[in-house]
Amino acid sequence: MRRSRLSVAALAIAVSVAGLSATRAEAAPAPPGGRILTLAVTAERGSGELRSVRPDGSGAYAYSLRLSWWAGPDYSPDGSRIAYADWMEVWAMNADGTNAQNLVGGPCAPESPRWSPDARWIAFESCGDIYKVSAKGYASGFVNLTNDDLYTLRAAWSPLGARIATAGPSGVYLYRADGTGAPRRVSDLPDATRLDWSPDGRTLAVAAGDDLWTVDLPTGARRRMTDTPGVIERHPVWSPDGRWLAFSRGPEDPNDPGVALTPEVWLTTAAGTHSHSTGVLGIPTSWRFQP
C-alpha cells in the first residue's frame, strides 16, 4: 500500500513537472517586431540582394541592390536610413532605398559600416583597422580609431557611443570611440570575425570560428551559444529590445571549409533557447524598429 501511494505521488509529481515543462516550452518571448536587413543568397557566391524582412520572415522588401556579403548594411538608430559599403566606398540612403549618398572612400575596400547611437558617425573596417566618418560625409574626412597591428575585422558601438568593440584573429577588444588611449582585450576568443553589442550594454554576441558566443563585459565570462560540427553560425545581430539574436546558419560547404552553403536567417533567445529558422535565405546584418 505504501509503495502504491509513493507511486501515485511520484506520478503526480511527474505529471506536474511535465506540465510545467510544457508551460515553459510555450513561454518563448515574442520577437519584438521591427525589421531585419538581410543579404539574400544568390547564385553568385559571396554576394546577395539587399532585402528587409520582419522577424517572422514575412513582408520582404527588395531594394534591387546587389552587394557583397562584406557590405554589412546597417539601419540608423531610428531606422530611417541605411549605411552600406559598395566596392571602395561607404554609402548611406533612406530606408526606402531613395537618396543614396556617397560618404567616403576607405584606404582599402571598406566593410561593415555601423552607425553610432547618436547617428553622427559611421564606423567601418578598412585595411585591418577601424575608422569612423561623419554621417555628413567627405566634409569631415575620416578618423582612424585603432591604428595598431591587431587586424580588427568588425566593429560594434556601445549603446551610449563612448566605446567601440572589435573582433579579430586575436580576440575581442574595446576602444574609446574618440580614438584615444590603448585598447583593452575583453576576450581571447580565437578567430573572432563578427560581433554586436547588446542594447543593455552588458553583453557582446560574437561569431568566432564557426560558432556563436556571448561575452559578459563586467566579468569577461564567455558562453558558447552553438556547438554544431559541420554547421556554420555567424553574423549575430541583437533585436532592438535585447531579448533575441538573429544569426546566419547553414551547412558547411565540403568543398570550401569555413563557408556555409545556403545560409538561412535564424532567431534564438538571448539565453540560447527557442532557436528556429525564419525561412529567409541569406545573412542578417541589422535589426531596428521602424519609424
pLDDT for 139 equals: 53
pLDDT at position 8 over 70: no
pLDDT for 258 equals: 79
pLDDT for 24 equals: 43
Q: How many CA atoms lie within 13 A of 185 on its CB side?
A: 11
pLDDT for 255 equals: 84
143-152 CB contacts, 8 Å cutoff, 24+ apart:
143/179, 144/179, 145/175, 145/177, 145/179, 146/175, 146/183, 147/179, 148/183, 150/183, 152/125, 152/128
pLDDT at position 27 over 70: no
pLDDT at position 20 over 60: no
> pLDDT tens, 220-233?
999 999 999 999 99
pLDDT for 22 equals: 36
Region 243-256 average pLDDT: 92
Residue % of the chain over a pLDDT of 70: 86
Give the pLDDT band (50/70/90) at residue 30.
Answer: confident
Region 125-137 average pLDDT: 88
CATH of 36-288, one of 3.30.70.980, 3.30.360.10, 1.10.580.10, 2.120.10.30: 2.120.10.30
Q: What are phi and psi of 41, to 5 degrees?
A: -70, 135
pLDDT for 122 equals: 95
48 vs 79, residue with greater confidence: 79
> pLDDT tens, 71-115?
999 999 999 999 999 988 999 999 999 999 999 887 788 899 999
24 vs 157, residue with greater confidence: 157
pLDDT at position 17 over 90: no
pLDDT at position 6 over 90: no
Region 5-11 average pLDDT: 36
Region 44-67 average pLDDT: 90
pLDDT at position 43 over 80: no
Q: Using CA atoms, how far apart are residues 52 and 16, in angstroms rounded to an integer?
A: 43
Dihedral angle sign, alpha carbons of residues 130, 151, 184, 226? positive
For residue 95, give the nearest of 70, 61, 125, 49 by alpha carbon. 61
> pLDDT tens, 142-183?
788 887 766 777 899 999 999 999 998 889 999 999 989 889
Pairing label, strands 35-39, 47-53: antiparallel
Q: Where in the chain are the domains?
A: 36-288
Highest mean pLDDT among 3-17, 166-180, 197-211: 197-211
Residue % of the chain over a pLDDT of 90: 65
How far does Cα 237 stand from its chain's mean position? 3
Cβ atoms of 206 and 172 closer than 8 Å: yes
At 134, the amino acid letter reads S
168 vs 118, residue with greater confidence: 118
- Kindly give, in sequence order, each residue whose CB lies less than 8 Å from that of residue 100, ignoring residues fewer than 6 positions away: 91, 92, 93
pTM for the model stands at 0.87
- Kindly give, in sequence order, each residue whose CB lies less than 8 Å from that of residue 78, ignoring residues fewer than 6 positions away: 119, 288, 291
Dihedral angle sign, alpha carbons of residues 79, 197, 244, 246? positive
pLDDT at position 242 over 70: yes
Q: Using CA atoms, how far apart are residues 27 and 64, in angstroms rounded to an integer?
A: 38
